[in-house]
Amino acid sequence: MQSPCIHVCQTEEGRCIGCGRTILEIAAWTRFTDGERQVIMDRVRDEGYGDAPPEAPTPDPGSQASDEEENAEPENDPGIPREIQITGADRHRPESVCIDGIRYGEQIVDLVKALQAIAEGGHDAASCRSIAVRALQRPARRR
């Protein structure tokens, strides 16, 4: 799956400074069709963001994958974070979240907590949408 992500994942004013996508586009990326993803990638490229990395080669459909490949854990996928850690606030720093060693601010903490609540399950689609929308619309807390 192609992505404009260049692994400079920091947001300013609701957009990633690395790839140019909005937080909503990043969160829904895997659910977009190839055509929708291409429209977004064309837009961010036109806005001056870098080209997407080359697409990973797709396996030949005629070849059989080994049991090892079929049972590969999602953590081996380079697009999936391997470690997500929420750190509490202290005298020197606000609450933050570290994703694969990169520290993100309070607004991303709210989004991660919302996604964790959705992932825990037991919610209908409307509730999941409501949780995500509340997290995305919550203004950054001031110290």
- The angle formed by the CA atoms of residues 49, 129 and 27, to the nearest 5 degrees, is 25
* Token reading at 91: 């005298």
Judge whether 59 and 85 are in contact, CB under 8 Å: no
**Average pLDDT value for the chain:** 73
Is the predicted pLDDT of residue 54 greater than 50, yes or no?
no
Q: What are phi and psi of 68, to 5 degrees?
A: -65, -40
* Extended beta strands in 65-124, E state: 84-87, 96-99, 102-104
Is the predicted pLDDT of residue 75 greater than 70, yes or no?
no
pLDDT digits (tens, 9 = 90+) for 91-142: 766 677 777 666 676 667 777 778 878 888 777 878 877 877 777 776 555 4
Instruction: Out of 60-69, 84-93, 126-135, give the one with best mean pLDDT.
Output: 126-135
pTM of this structure: 0.36
